[in-house]
Amino acid sequence: MNEQISVLLQQIDARKEELIELTKKLIEFETPAPPARNTSDIQEFVGEFLQKCGFSIDQWDVYPGDPNVVGVKKGKESAQHKSLIINGHVDVAEVSEDEPWKTGPFAPFVEDGYVVGRGAADMKGGIAGALFAIQLLHEAGIELPGDLIFESVIGEEVGEAGTLQCCKRGYNADFALVVDTSDLHIQGQGGVITGWITVKSPQTFHDATRRQMLHAGGRLFGASAIEKMMKIIQGLQELERHWAVMKTYEGYPPGMTTINPAVIEGGRHAAFIADECRLWITVHFYPNETHHQVAQEIESFIRKIADADPWLRENPPQFQWGGESMIIDRGEIFPSLEVDQNHAAVQTLFSLHERTLHRQATIDMSPTVTDGGWFSEFQIPAAIYGPGTLQEAHSVNERVAVKQLVEFTKVILTFIYEWCHTSKAE
């Protein structure tokens, strides 16, 4: 290993308390989403931190009070060497008033070898480790040949996809590393899309007409939208079972492709036949599938069920997929991410993990989702690699192990150095 890097790895151990304090500082910024619109202060901090390390800063509001910050440090030989995006979200999971935190969710402390506080695992620990690695490289006067881009984004917890906005703004690289919760596994992910299915009657009927809809000779062509939605829910359950039998993906247990009927809304009053019913569903799909594909599969299947029902055939269900915010339009999309194990960056990260930590690296699949799939949508090779476990993420007294924070910082520092020194010709 490069002697300069060996010295920096020793500094990470020696200056561990600085890393802990940086993690605590990030946690102290109260950035839960929902309610969101509260990340301006932390993003100002991140921007200033990067600026001191020689980055040019691009900051813009994705939503009022929720800006993205992108720092760019141009390499001294950008045209000949690989570029890297490091990506992380500064919003954290929501907090309820009745949760029994030992201090407070944004009053971090260290206990039993863990940093405790909301976002410690998901994912301010990852951001802190990456920022500390960048600081050490800067202090050592190391000039990277390739470009380094740091994306500090908002909105991941509520589907507002600050990462998507970075991609739309034109930020690109030879590889992107999302430093989100992965227990130091190199991971891809499946995807998630939400959708609304609506059944609507063209007429509204008094509930006294129900007998005419149900009994012989009534001759009233009408139906309860709620009852017709029951058929659709049964159809979704059949399709979910079919997917469980027919679809598999290496690294996932069978049956990960699920269709969750999460929320149902319908009817207007007890004196009316329900003339509208809306079902909110959450669909999980495998890394080799797209959200467009699974939405089409569901629509096709449900339309066949509707065609077999006389009333639904005349009043077919309507579909609305995805959205840009669970807060604003009650919808979200998380594209899937397949990790190419043969990609040079993945091989480099795999090797550096083993050489730095002296234990075998793991490449597998996250059971949850991150913003990482947006890189796949924009044809940017990517992977997830960060400290913290999903068991700790979003939990009361959320925490991340100091030992793992240190280990992550060592690996990310060596990866930044090695990848940005890799020739584009390789």
Active site residues: 91, 156
Q: In the sheet that 186-189 helps form, which strands lie side by side, from edge to edge?
A: 56-63, 66-73, 148-153, 84-89, 175-178, 382-384, 186-189, 363-366
Annotate 54-68 with DSSP letters as a single string: T-EEEEEEEETTEEE
Q: Would you say 381 and 375 are in contact if contact means Cβ atoms under 8 Å apart? A: yes
Q: What is the largest CA-CA distance in the chain?
A: 90
β-pairing, 191-200 with 276-285? antiparallel
Buried b (16+ CB within 10 A) or exposed e, 89-115: bbbbbbbeeeeeeeeebbebebeeebb
Report the candidate in 375, 426, 379, 343 with the shortest Cα–Cα distance to residue 81.
426
Please report, for residues 204, 209, 223, the alpha-carbon distance to residue 273 in angstroms, rounded to integers and kept in the order given: 7, 8, 8
Please tell me what DSSP assigns to residue 157.
G
Torsion angles phi and psi, residue 224, rounded to 5: -80, 125
β-pairing, 114-116 with 399-401? antiparallel
> Distance (Å, rounded) from C-alpha 216 to C-alpha 359?
74
